[in-house]
Amino acid sequence: MQPPPASLAALPASLRAPRVRGHRVSAPTVVALKALPRRLALWSPRLTAVESRPPPSSPASAPPPLPESASAGLDAGIGGGGGGDGGGGADLGWVRVFPHVLTASMANFLFGYHIGVMNGPIEDIARELGLQGNPLLQGLLVSIFIVGAFFGSLGSAALVDNFGCKRTLQVDSVPLILGALLSAQATSLDEMLLGRFLVGIGIGVNTVLVPLYISEVAPTKYRGSLGTLCQIGSCLGIIAALSLGIPSESDPHWWRTMLYAACVPGVLIIVGMQFAVESPLWLAKVGRLDDAKKVVERIWGPSEVEKSMEEINSVVANNDSQASWSELLEEPHNRVALIGGSLFFLQQFAGINGVLYFSSLTFRDVGITSGILTSLYVGITNFAGSIVASNLMDKQGRKKLLTGSYIGMAGAMFLIAYAISFPLDEGVSHGLSITGTLLYIFTFAIGAGPVTGIIIPELSGARTRSKVMGFSFTVHWVCNFLVGLYFLELVKKFGVGAVYAGFGGVSLLSALFAYNFIVETKGRSLEEIEMSLSPAAAGKRE
């Protein structure tokens, strides 16, 4: 028997369930659980009241849903309860949905690949296209990608609302493939810019779409861990591009092969998504209830169908039409949009892209002159942090990881600033700089990187989720562009130490923001989260 969770142990004795084993409870406990949500709401104003359900007809039935702080793993609502684990064996509730989210996360692999693909051979590209010695045009080759992503993010909501996640992922792969082909065959600046712009549009749509899709098809119990596939996919894409780019150091035309290779994941996404499921919530919103029921049964298990469809129908009934952008100015959507935009604003101005850019110079100071090798070190560290995050996301929760991540990033920035600004032995200074850089990347990958993309669709209501995501990622791309544009100017004017100290200050502010304004979503269904953020809906539900 497993010991009772700490959250239950902290409750008064009269409110504790006597025994909890896996996802099943004894019949007397079921009766006690029936009234538990209302009693918990009276006991602590911090707990969200959840509607009580009739007791199950048999001891083997699933218990009624509980708030996250009292359920300790008993899942409720949209997202299912994890699909079961086979009665006490290995926990394999994620297996059914994994192929579907893995296929979708290939879009993030492409995102990472297109970030890394220009890292090594940019000088060869500039030489072949006649741009050598023109840093402005070389910078335009990189920044046009961000401009395309900006417009892709803006248009993503309309595509998802009308075509669903599955079809949008397939359609969006077309500009990714065409853009890669056009770039690979480019003989002029205009052709290369058009290709990179098309790729940017595709990436802009996908960065919104993939976390949204995962949040709506993943079981509640595994939603956080599966959501980290976005970050892991991006890391693997960067590593793949950098590894494939090693021959470019000796072959000046190798960059064309690298861009041709970018077409392959796009084709795999189109084919793979043909066998993937559509979001059951979107199917229900467009009236395809039978299809939604089949999807729920397929990825969450037959035992989840009745409960999950009841929850989905409840959400759809309250969201019977498509949202307009103006609704993001109304309660409670404006709160979620503000949180989403703020998270990406703080993430970018905490310096992640500046650190990634400057890391090559930091490594060069200690004798590692290969830019590709430097980026590989950074990419592997990023990947390692993402793996740790996938293991902790549904154990420690989003809020703890996000807050702790920013505190770690702040410490790393101050360490680098100290190493650069104070008179130290050269070897010590270089060692501290390397340690600080890798520590920053690792702590970013644990929280600030993956949590930001996971928690925004979780906090968003079904009606406005696509638009909140579109708005938040639009803020991301604008801030990304501004940091890239002004980073070197700030370094030139104030020095590296001062700029990194500024990044550390923003990281501390981000930790305070996360601690005070982020609502924990671990183990809570999307509907439960939506109700907890809507006072009117919560009052009506009681």
pLDDT tens-digit series, residues 242-284: 888 888 878 888 999 999 999 999 999 999 999 999 999 899 8
Query: Could you report how far apart the first and last alpha carbons of the chain are, in Å?
Result: 34
As a whole number, mean pLDDT of residues 384-404 equals: 92
Q: Where are the alpha helices (DSSP H) in 397-425?
A: 398-421
394 pLDDT above the threshold of 70: yes
Of the candidate ranges 278-282, 385-389, 473-477, 536-540, the one whose mean pLDDT is the lowest: 536-540
Q: Can you tell me the mean pLDDT for 506-530?
A: 87
Q: Taking all residues of the chain, what is their mean pLDDT, rounded to a whole number?
A: 79
Alpha carbon of 469 to those of 405, 455, 509: distances in Å? 22, 10, 23
Residue 46 is predicted with a pLDDT of 38
DSSP letter at 326? G
- pLDDT band of residue 21 (cuts 50, 70, 90) is very low
Q: What is the pLDDT of residue 368?
A: 64
Give the model's pLDDT for residue 140. 80
* Whether 527 contacts 314, CB under 8 Å: yes
What is the distance between the alpha carbons of residues 442 and 436, in angstroms, rounded to a whole number?
10
For 143, 203, 266, the CA distances from 179, given in Å and listed in that order, are: 15, 11, 11
* Residues 39-72 pLDDT 10s: 333 333 333 333 334 444 443 344 444 333 333 3
For the residues of 345-381, what is the DSSP string, one character each? HHHHHTTHHHHHHHHHHHHHTTT---HHHHHHHHHHH
Bigger pLDDT: 423 vs 57: 423
Poorest-pLDDT segment among 70-74, 428-432, 478-482, 516-520: 70-74
Short-list 203, 223, 271, CA closest to 390 = 223
Span 60-86, mean pLDDT?
Answer: 41
73: confidence class by pLDDT, cuts 50, 70, 90: very low
pLDDT above 90 coverage of the chain, percent: 36
- Checking if the pLDDT of 296 tops 70, the result is yes
Of residues 143 and 234, more confidently modeled: 234
Spatial CA neighbour of 157 closest among 407, 422, 420, 337: 337
Alpha helices, DSSP H only, in 56-185? 68-71, 98-116, 122-128, 135-184
pLDDT at residue 90, rounded to an integer: 59
**pLDDT value of residue 370:** 65
More confident residue, 222 or 83: 222
- If one compares 117 and 192, the residue with the highest pLDDT of the two is 192
> What is the mean pLDDT of the segment spanning 480-488?
82
Helix (H, G, I), strand (E, B) or coil at 21: strand
**From CA 71, how far away is CA 347, in angstroms rounded?**
32
Distance from C-alpha of 119 to C-alpha of 248, rounded to nearest angstrom: 11
pLDDT one-digit tens code per residue, 137-161: 877 887 788 899 999 999 998 899 8
| pLDDT at residue 80 in the model | 54
**Predicted pLDDT at 6:** 43
Whether the per-residue pLDDT at 538 is higher than 60: the answer is no
Closest CA to 352 of 479, 513, 166, 539: 479
Torsion (CA) 425, 376, 348, 449 in degrees, nearest 10: -110
For the ranges 61-65, 387-391, 430-434, the one whose mean pLDDT is highest: 387-391
What's residue 515's pLDDT? Answer: 93
| Residue linked to tokens 């950098």 | 242
212 close to 457: Cβ distance less than 8 angstroms: yes
Share of the chain above pLDDT 70, in %: 77
Condensed to tens digits (0 to 9), the pLDDT of residues 202-233 reads 999 999 999 999 988 988 888 888 989 998 99
Average pLDDT over residues 367-379: 73
What's the pLDDT at 372?
Answer: 67
Segment among 83-97, 317-331, 383-397, 486-500 with least mean pLDDT? 83-97
CA-closest candidate to residue 363, choices 351, 378, 379, 384: 378
Cα separation, 315 vs 541, in Å, equals 12
Average pLDDT over residues 514-527: 85
Residue of 40, 78, 65, 483 whose CA lies nearest to 305: 78
| Residue 444 burial (10 A CB sphere; 0-12, 13-18, 19+) | buried
Q: CA dist 263 to 114, 188, 274, Å?
A: 11, 20, 18
Stretch 349-364: mean pLDDT, rounded?
76
